[in-house]
Amino acid sequence: MAAEGENVTGDSANSSTPPNNETSKAISYTLEALQLIKDAQQQHGLRHGDYQRYRGYCSRRIKRIRKSLHFPQGNRNRVTPKKIKEEILTDTRYLHLPLFCAERCWAYAMQLKSEANTEPRKRFHMISKLKKAVVYAEELESIGNSVKCDARTKLECQAYSAWIKGCLEFEEGKWESAMEYYTKAKTIYEKLANAFSEEVQAVYQQRVDEIAPNLRYCAYNIGDESALQDLQKMRIAAGGDQLSFKLDDLLSQTREKQAATLSEVTWRGRTVPVKVEAVRLFLLNMQDLNTELAAAESLDSRVSIYESILKQCIDAQQALRDTLQEDQVFKAAVRGQPIEGKISNQHYLHSYLMYIRLTTTVDRNLLMIENLKQNLPENNREEGRKITKPQDLVRLYDIIIQNLNDIPNLHGIQEDATIVSEIETSVLGYKAFRSYYIARSYASAKKWKETVSLYQRALDNCKKAIGGLKKQTQNGKIKQEISALEELEQHISGQMFSCQAYSILDSSSTGEQTFSTQVTDKRPLEDRLDEYLLEKSLTSKKATLTRFPPEFEPIPCRPLFFDLALNHIEFPSLEDKLEQKKAAGGGLTGMVKGWLFGGVKNNSDILLLPLGYYVHKVETMADDLNGKLAQAFKYYVEVSSVGQNLTEAAKKEIKDKGMNKMLKETCGDSVAKASEAQVFPKYCDKKTKKLHLDVFLGDFLVELAATVIQNKKKLAKRPDLTDSEVLALAAELKEKIATKADAKPKEVKVDAVTARLTDTKAYTGTHKERFDDSGKGKGIAGRKNLVDDSGYVTGYKGQGSSDDQQGASPSK
């Protein structure tokens, strides 16, 4: 039995042997009553509200103290009560006996009070035990007033005795005397709290906080109407500790008087009477719910208020269900059987209570979600708080959706289309939030396809919910929900783009293939910059970024002057303007600009020039361009025929090798390949496989331009040769080729050894006979001895003259 941890035998200073008179005068006993009983209550049951366990502990401790002090109450056969007097007060444990006897009776009374809810007769037993506790408390107070006890002990005993008496008067409904005793106890404990350190002060302050609600309740019953508001404030500040349950009981008792005025309730246009007392109390508490929530400062306090309301709702439902045991329609509805016709008033009231329970649970979960969102990784959470995972929020949203889906199935409102529509709209909104946080869970796992799909579903639900809410009657709550959904919609749009970007980065690093969206819109990228669509062609070399060449746009033309008297006007000389230098790098456009307007200083000069002048200039420009093209053509003919003496006629024909070299160096590989595979075989001579200069200056380059455009755009049909895009590209090709007009073949440098070995004048023997004086080979004549069988001697220069004379004589 000594396992409880206290010292039951005492020490040398507190022995049971009576000391001499001098020692007794010097001894002053101290009893820390409140600290002692609070420690015992916390360790032996009252932390969980187990009064029976604490009562048993008090009985065992009293027995141990009596045994250790040798202060029995008789023997086994007979009880002989003994009172503690000042003469025998030689140990502090003598003060423990009446204290724990009072505590034992008080604990028994509190146990009976909790049981009296179902067994009212036990309330009389409770009052009896409290009266017995008052007797022990008065005995403790009388012993504490002894000269052997110090001032703290006296105050502790007086405060404890006043508190026990106040509890008795409170339960008996004697409000004025209860308020007097409670005030006395509160005053003493406040003074004790100010006299000691902070650790001890906390114990006294806790007892003061426990007494304050009882005082305000007594004041309310006496006639102070403001006491109810004070009780509500105390309940809000209490949160979820043990004091809050006592305050709930006090508030319930306070509202019992108001419940008599609540006789009916109206919901969804139907008024039903309220006959059950527990339902009346609950509905009164619901009326003050918003006020209490607004006054609550902390999130924990608001959650505690919701928990208390839900508990009261469950009790009210159970009480109402007991009265509906004889209702056959209600029993069929509980079993899940279909019912027809109008339900009873009490059955409809039960549906109303269930509606309140479901909606309150939704509000409680939304409050918890708000708290969890503060601890998301992107928010600045407090130190020591656990990081919230998206899965935690998904679980709460699932519960909310389930509760909302249960509302349309309540009996009595199944045919109400308005509430069904409202619930469906709310469910869509919460589904949008749920899909959003599920998508975030997939995003953390880098499952980009699933993430984008869930974001898209959340976006669709969000738009539907916003549309449905805007059709409802607008109030503060509806506007708040619309604002939250619009904010979510914007956030989802940004997250989708981020997700798609992350998927591209991950695929480029891992080599995986990213998901793409099928695009049927063939517009260039510049025309749909506000639409994000992942398209494979955008990452290839054939991305359609813009229209090229740009489409023609109408612009105001310059005011050219067409003079009808052109042939009758003598124009000034323009020789000085024609001799101006051409602008460098102008190309065809630059040449036209330089030749036509390069020498004109202002627009007034342009207006004076006749139309014939411009026609002449354009013809001159075209001739010069063809001349440059011809020079470039001949240049590449010579380059491709190095070491050959070409005639002028041979320089006007080029092989495919020379044409490829020309186009590759001036226009690029794609143009050269188009010529080699498609255009050159079509225009070259079929026997010699050469292309003539006239053909080159004719339709060859235009055909080549059309073929390049067809290959570039992958067209099934070649563009028309008169198309503006084709003509523009042909002009561009001509400009590029014309840049090689002034090029000359590189001279082949021959070193001394090669020059000496290839000098035919130094050849001897048979090699000398194979080349003529100019170094040109003789062909077969240099390799074989040809026999001359003409009949003339070698070296005769008149060969054939006699034959001519003989043939001419007959004519004479």
In this structure, what CATH number is given to the domain that contains residue 58?
A: 1.10.3450.40
The top-scoring range by mean pLDDT among 196-200, 240-244, 285-289, 365-369 is: 365-369
For every residue of 567-593, DSSP letters joined together read GG-PPPP-HHHHTSPPPTT-HHHHHHH
Structure tokens at 317: 């439902």
Please tell me the predicted confidence (pLDDT) of residue 105: 95
Residue 365 in domain: yes
Residue 151 in domain: yes
Above 90 in pLDDT, residue 108?
yes
Same domain, residue pair 77 and 141: yes
By CB neighbour count within 10 A (0-12 exposed, 13-18 middle, 19+ buried), where does 661 fall? middle
Above 60 in pLDDT, residue 571?
yes
Lowest average pLDDT, out of 234-238, 675-679, 715-719, 790-794, goes to: 234-238
CA 503 to chain centre: 15
DSSP 697: I
Please tell me the predicted confidence (pLDDT) of residue 253: 53
Please tell me the predicted confidence (pLDDT) of residue 558: 56
Residue 563 in domain: yes
By CB neighbour count within 10 A (0-12 exposed, 13-18 middle, 19+ buried), where does 775 fall? exposed
Residue 588's pLDDT band (cuts 50, 70, 90): very low
* Straight-line distance from the first to the last Cα atom of the chain, in angstroms, rounded to the nearest whole number: 177
Residue 766 in domain: yes
Residue 74 in domain: yes
What lies within 8 Å, CB to CB, of 644 at 6+ separation is none
Q: What is the CA radius of gyration of the chain?
A: 57
Above 50 in pLDDT, residue 727?
yes
Percentage of the chain with pLDDT > 90?
13
CA distance 57 to 39: 12
Same domain, residue pair 738 and 758: no
Same domain, residue pair 104 and 60: yes
Residue 616's pLDDT band (cuts 50, 70, 90): low
CA distance 454 to 492: 10
Same domain, residue pair 499 and 378: yes
Answer positive or negative: Cα dihedral of 292, 295, 305, 367: positive
Q: What is the pLDDT of residues 420-474, one digit of tens each?
A: 888 899 999 999 999 988 988 888 888 888 888 888 898 898 989 888 888 888 7
Which uninterrupted H or E stretch holds 654? strand 653-655
Q: What is the pLDDT of residues 131-164, one digit of tens each?
A: 999 999 999 999 888 888 888 888 899 999 999 9
Bridge partners of residue 270, in order along the sequence: 267
CA distance 93 to 66: 9
Same domain, residue pair 505 and 609: no
Above 60 in pLDDT, residue 602?
no
536 contacts 516 by C-beta, under 8 angstroms? yes
Q: Output the CA angle 80-86-88, nearest 5 degrees.
A: 60
Same domain, residue pair 685 and 788: no
Look-up of token digits 């609070």: 38
Please tell me the predicted confidence (pLDDT) of residue 760: 74
Residue 166 in domain: yes
Please tell me the predicted confidence (pLDDT) of residue 557: 60
Please tell me the predicted confidence (pLDDT) of residue 191: 86
Same domain, residue pair 728 and 795: no
CA distance 517 to 535: 6
Structure tokens at 746: 């590189």
Percentage of the chain with pLDDT > 70?
77
Same domain, residue pair 773 and 675: no
Which uninterrupted H or E stretch holds 655? strand 653-655
Residue 267 in domain: no
Q: Output the CA angle 526-532-533, nearest 5 degrees.
A: 100
| Between 52 and 566, residue with greater pLDDT | 52
Count CA within 13 A, CB hemisphere, residue 669. Answer: 0
Q: Which of 288, 291, 352 shows the shortest CA–CA distance to 320?
A: 352
Max CA pair span of the chain: 199
Q: Which of 302, 297, 347, 349 shows the shortest CA–CA distance to 326?
A: 347
The top-scoring range by mean pLDDT among 17-21, 398-402, 563-567 is: 398-402
Look-up of token digits 């105001």: 556
Please tell me the predicted confidence (pLDDT) of residue 64: 94
CA distance 263 to 285: 15
Above 80 in pLDDT, residue 325?
yes
CA distance 534 to 539: 9
Residue 265's pLDDT band (cuts 50, 70, 90): confident
Above 70 in pLDDT, residue 635?
yes
Same domain, residue pair 344 and 465: yes
Other Cβ atoms within 10 Å of 351 Cβ, number: 21
DSSP 376: S
CA 275 to chain centre: 51
What lies within 8 Å, CB to CB, of 650 at 6+ separation is 637, 641
Average pLDDT over residues 543-547: 80
156 contacts 34 by C-beta, under 8 angstroms? yes
Residue 520's pLDDT band (cuts 50, 70, 90): low
CA distances (Å), origin 639, targets 659, 670, 773? 11, 22, 27
Domain C-terminal end among 747, 765, 784: 747
CA distance 265 to 526: 64
Above 50 in pLDDT, residue 307?
yes
Please tell me the predicted confidence (pLDDT) of residue 721: 84
For every residue of 466-530, DSSP letters joined together read HHHHHHSPP-HHHHHHHHHHHHHHHHHHHHHHHHHHHHHHHHHHH-PPPP---------GGG-TT
Mean pLDDT of the chain: 78
Q: Which of 664, 652, 655 shows the shortest CA–CA distance to 704?
A: 664
Q: Which of 315, 589, 267, 536 shows the shortest CA–CA distance to 411?
A: 267
Q: What amino acid is encoded at 290 in this protein?
A: N
Residue 565's pLDDT band (cuts 50, 70, 90): low
CA distance 310 to 779: 120
666 contacts 735 by C-beta, under 8 angstroms? no
- Phi, psi of 29, rounded to the nearest 5 degrees: -85, 145
Q: Which residues of 744-753 are buried (b: 16+ CB within 10 A; e: fewer)?
A: eeeeeeeeee
Strand, helix or coil for residue 692: strand
Residue 566's pLDDT band (cuts 50, 70, 90): low
469 contacts 478 by C-beta, under 8 angstroms? yes
Above 70 in pLDDT, residue 287?
yes
Q: What is the pLDDT of residues 158-172, one digit of tens each?
A: 999 999 999 999 999
Domain containing 443: what range? 306-510
CA distance 400 to 657: 79
Structure tokens at 428: 């869509």
Answer positive or negative: Cα dihedral of 460, 462, 465, 467: negative
Lowest average pLDDT, out of 52-61, 465-474, 501-510, 726-735, goes to: 501-510
For every residue of 293-351, DSSP letters joined together read HHH--SHHHHHHHHHHHHHHHHHHHHHHHHHTTT-HHHHHHHTT----SPPPHHHHHHH
Please tell me the predicted confidence (pLDDT) of residue 493: 83
Q: Which of 428, 316, 301 shows the shortest CA–CA distance to 364?
A: 301
Domain C-terminal end among 138, 172, 206: 172
Same domain, residue pair 329 and 424: yes
Strand, helix or coil for residue 185: helix
Same domain, residue pair 652 and 506: no
Count CA within 13 A, CB hemisphere, residue 49. Answer: 10
Residue 610 in domain: yes
326 contacts 346 by C-beta, under 8 angstroms? no
Lowest average pLDDT, out of 75-79, 642-646, 718-722, goes to: 642-646
Residue 534's pLDDT band (cuts 50, 70, 90): low
| Between 232 and 357, residue with greater pLDDT | 357
Above 60 in pLDDT, residue 15?
no
215 contacts 229 by C-beta, under 8 angstroms? no
- For the question of whether the overall pTM of this predicted structure is more than 0.85, the answer is no
CA distances (Å), origin 506, targets 448, 452, 473, 513, 742? 10, 15, 47, 10, 54
Above 80 in pLDDT, residue 258?
no
Lowest average pLDDT, out of 8-12, 452-456, 693-697, goes to: 8-12
CA distance 450 to 438: 10
Domain C-terminal end among 172, 187, 220: 172
Same domain, residue pair 433 and 506: yes
Count how many domains the chain has.
Answer: 4
Q: Own/partner pairs for 552-560, CB < 8 Å, 24+ apart?
A: 552/724, 558/603, 558/606, 559/607, 560/606, 560/607, 560/611
CA dihedral 661, 665, 670, 674 (to 10 degrees): -30
In this structure, the chain runs to a length of: 812
Structure tokens at 460: 């669709």
DSSP 386: P
| Between 123 and 780, residue with greater pLDDT | 123
Structure tokens at 510: 């891992």
Above 80 in pLDDT, residue 628?
yes
Please tell me the predicted confidence (pLDDT) of residue 36: 92
